[in-house]
Structure 1
Amino acid sequence: MYKLVIFLFILVNYSWASLIGANYNQRDMQILEDLQIKSSFITDYKLQKTYNNLLRKHNQNNYVRKLSDASLFVPKIKKILREEEIPSVFLYMAMAESDFTIDAKSNVKATGIWQFMSETGKHFDLNINLYVDERMDLVKSTKAATQYLKYLHKRFDKWYLAALAYNCGEGRVIEAITRATIDKYVEENPKEKNSSKIQEFRHTIYSYQRGREPFYKLNRVYKKIRKWDVSLDIDDFLRVQKNITRQYIPSESRMYIRKIIALGMMNNQSFITENDNAHLLNIGATSSVATIPVKGGLHLKSISNAVGIDYKEIKNLNKHLKLQIVPPYEKTYDIYIPYSRLARYQANKNLIKDSKYLVYIVKRGDSLHRIGNKYNISYKIIKDFNKLNTNVLSLKQKLIIPISSNKSNSSSIKLAKANTKTTLIYKVKNGDTLYSIARKYNIDLKKLMSDNELKSNFINIGDKIVIKK
């Protein structure tokens, strides 16, 4: 009986080893190397489970469809990743985040291919206002994502940690590194388990987790333990501890990093490299999207009609233009067209009529007649352009107003600018007070506290203060 158990144990392990060996190749190992993950992680059970699930026929078909649907976007993303010296595997982070859906929105309001939250997007200079949401701008959002990833890599020194921090937050990864380092240090030095230093550090972590201590105190511990001679790898962060409610890394993020790796490995499989799908490997070999500067205030329809580009085609590449209007407060603004249409655009761009458009938000007491008189335009034109079936307007309704070239004066542009808000993120430095920050940005102190939901004037070094002007 004992010999039978041993035989079965060896057989199971041999079968598992054979399964692993059959499911990866040298290009898969390169994915791990690019993420700075040790090669032995290829045998991670949950990674293989994720990978094998993706290899099911319906998931293969979905994978091919997503790559094919994104054939215009992928080359541009690859090019930017290359230029910014970001490992190419991060293409699959975009796939994991949004399935390459340029206007994807999550239930927590993260938006775009790279799923930026509003404040994070603004921090990386993505404009979000009445006219644009640049989280859905293919080029600008990808460049913002690369800047964020480079910042995270500089902070954590590992690309896989940068990917985890992108998903679950910089603070959570700092907490994870701090906890994992202390736990491993105690494992290697059991006599230190009850030392005052270890107890003090663990108390700070415990208090931070329960909201009793500010982040800067956790960060202070983090900076100290980073100097210790303790080596951690991905297994240390992803392992599930028994009887622990708050794991080092949230389950969603543990699944997320494995999914990125598995999606990258999928691209090396025979269903991609052979037969009808082989062309997908060459996505990114040539330019696919051209960037063109156009005058502010133009409608995409005007550009589409003048240069003979399908309106739906140009609209799908410019979903960051919320109402298909180029921001009227900009002298010129970049939009995107298929590279294959660039020659046609260059030949016909002078045919674009210098018609301007802006967005008007209906206020109390407004009527189509009153708005028409304000902009010296027939109310019927406004009604027709906005496809209104009635003259009745709703409060805060958005109307597109066509403005003739001789009427697109400074007052119109001022209205457009008034509908945008500048938001900055200020990081509290030594010596700062809420009063000094409010004075620096010429903002009322009560407004600053309200915008940041602060109940007192107390702030800490490293806190991020939202500045809305």
Structure 2
Amino acid sequence: YFPIYEKIFRERGIPEEIKYLSVLESSLNANAVSRAGATGTWQFLYEVGKIYGLAINDSIDERKDPVLAANAAASYLLDSYNQYGDWLLAIASYNCGKNRVKWAIEDSGGQKDYWAIRKYLPAETQNYIPAYIATVYIMNNYQKHDIFPEAGYLTEAETIPVKSVVSFEEISRQTGINLNQLSYLNPSYKRLIINGTETSPKNIVIPVLPTYTYNSLCKMLGLPGRFVPEPKVPEKAAAPATTYFIVYYVQEGDTIASIA
């Protein structure tokens, strides 16, 4: 997920190291659900997710969509940063809410510094920033402590906008992609059905497919496929020049020049 987060954060002017907040929140588990009901890699509560434009209903939970949830998290963090002018306070608000941070600032006499207002924050948030700092450190220095990541599930993927209602099963039949793999790459779809429309397309993530298979899927979905250039016809090579030989018998008085 980090390349996704890095691109979004760069485009929106957020320090890239804040991507590690999702490690602290969910261990990068898109299906993570807290006791309070916070869901997805960025652990949005239902109400906050709706405020930041995430669809949450019987068929889809966009809190589990890595791209949409990261964009929503970026919006939340930017709102907090614009309110407090400090990234650590913005991160603290991600844990306890903007109002709690506002009240802590007021209780501290108006100081906008996390360490100055720390004692006025909830106990969990008092430990949240140290935990975040530790997470950033470990993610950048794990080799120094003989910590090595496990080999995860990696695949080169691409995103297709779907403007109709189609099931994962139909996509699987058309492409040969395993249903479990489709589900893994698209955790936000509860019923394994994509309910896109012309005005509100929904994205599906698929492994990179051969052009023929990809274009077959696009045809089924009513989408343009990949451009396939016409094969080049090799030019005919010019016929080699014909060389003629003659036999000449040297006669008295001949020179090389006269023979030539």
Normalised-by-shorter TM-score class: 0.7 to 0.9
1:109 aligns with 2:37: yes
Q: 1:266 to 1:341 in 2, by over 3 A?
A: farther
Q: Which residue of 2 aligns with 1:443?
A: none
Name the amino acid aligned to 2:88. Y
The CA distance in 2 between the partners of 1:111 and 1:104, in whole Å, is: 6
Identical aligned residues as a percent: 32
The CA distance in 1 between the partners of 2:195 and 2:96, in whole Å, is: 33
Unaligned runs of 5+ in 2: 223-260
1:310 aligns with 2:178: yes
Q: 1:163 to 1:345 in 2, by over 3 A?
A: farther
1:238 aligns with 2:110: no
Q: Which residue of 1 aligns with 2:134?
A: 262
Q: Which residue of 1 aligns with 2:168?
A: 300
User: Is the Cα–Cα contact under 8 Å of residues 89 and 113 in structure 2 kept in the other structure?
Assistant: no
Q: Which residue of 2 aligns with 1:162?
A: 90
Cα-to-partner distance string for 1:414-446 (whole Å, 9 max, x where unaligned): xxxxxxxxxxxxxxxxxxxxxxxxxxxxxxxxx
Q: Which residue of 2 aligns with 1:134?
A: 62
The CA distance in 2 between the partners of 1:258 and 1:119, in whole Å, is: 27
Q: For residues 405-416 of structure 1, what are the structure 2 equivalents within 5 Å? A: none
Cα-to-partner distance string for 1:29-62 (whole Å, 9 max, x where unaligned): xxxxxxxxxxxxxxxxxxxxxxxxxxxxxxxxxx
Q: 1:259 to 1:106 in 2, by over 3 A?
A: same
User: Is the Cα–Cα contact under 8 Å of residues 94 and 114 in structure 1 kept in the other structure?
Assistant: yes
Q: TM-score, normalised by structure 1?
A: 0.43
Q: Which residue of 2 aligns with 1:333?
A: 202
User: Is the Cα–Cα contact under 8 Å of residues 297 and 328 in structure 1 kept in the other structure?
Assistant: yes
The CA distance in 2 between the partners of 1:117 and 1:341, in whole Å, is: 35
1:344 CA drift (Å): 6.5
Output the aligned Cα RMSD: 2.8
2:215 aligned to which of 343, 347, 360: 347
The CA distance in 1 between the partners of 2:138 and 2:211, in whole Å, is: 36
User: Is the Cα–Cα contact under 8 Å of residues 238 and 249 in structure 1 kept in the other structure?
Assistant: yes
What is the number of residues matched between the two proteins? Answer: 219
The CA distance in 1 between the partners of 2:221 and 2:94, in whole Å, is: 43
The CA distance in 1 between the partners of 2:105 and 2:147, in whole Å, is: 45
SS at match of 2:59: coil
Q: 1:144 to 1:342 in 2, by over 3 A?
A: farther
1:325 CA drift (Å): 0.4
Q: 1:123 to 1:327 in 2, by over 3 A?
A: same
User: Is the Cα–Cα contact under 8 Å of residues 135 and 141 in structure 1 kept in the other structure?
Assistant: yes
Q: Which residue of 1 aligns with 2:256?
A: none
Q: Which residue of 2 aligns with 1:123?
A: 51
Q: Which residue of 1 aligns with 2:244?
A: none
SS at match of 2:44: coil
The CA distance in 2 between the partners of 1:288 and 1:83, in whole Å, is: 23
1:74 aligns with 2:2: yes
SS at match of 1:150: helix
Unaligned runs of 5+ in 1: 1-72, 182-224, 226-230, 240-247, 281-286, 355-469
User: Is the Cα–Cα contact under 8 Å of residues 297 and 329 in structure 1 kept in the other structure?
Assistant: yes
1:310 CA drift (Å): 2.4
User: Is the Cα–Cα contact under 8 Å of residues 308 and 344 in structure 1 kept in the other structure?
Assistant: no
Q: TM-score, normalised by structure 2?
A: 0.75
1:164 CA drift (Å): 0.5
Q: Which residue of 1 aligns with 2:247?
A: none
User: Is the Cα–Cα contact under 8 Å of residues 290 and 342 in structure 1 kept in the other structure?
Assistant: no
**If you compute each CA radius of gyration, which structure gives the higher value, 1 or 2?**
2
User: Is the Cα–Cα contact under 8 Å of residues 102 and 138 in structure 1 kept in the other structure?
Assistant: yes
SS at match of 1:326: strand
1:275 CA drift (Å): 10
Cα-to-partner distance string for 1:356-379 (whole Å, 9 max, x where unaligned): xxxxxxxxxxxxxxxxxxxxxxxx
Q: 1:154 to 1:313 in 2, by over 3 A?
A: same
Q: 1:270 to 1:119 in 2, by over 3 A?
A: closer
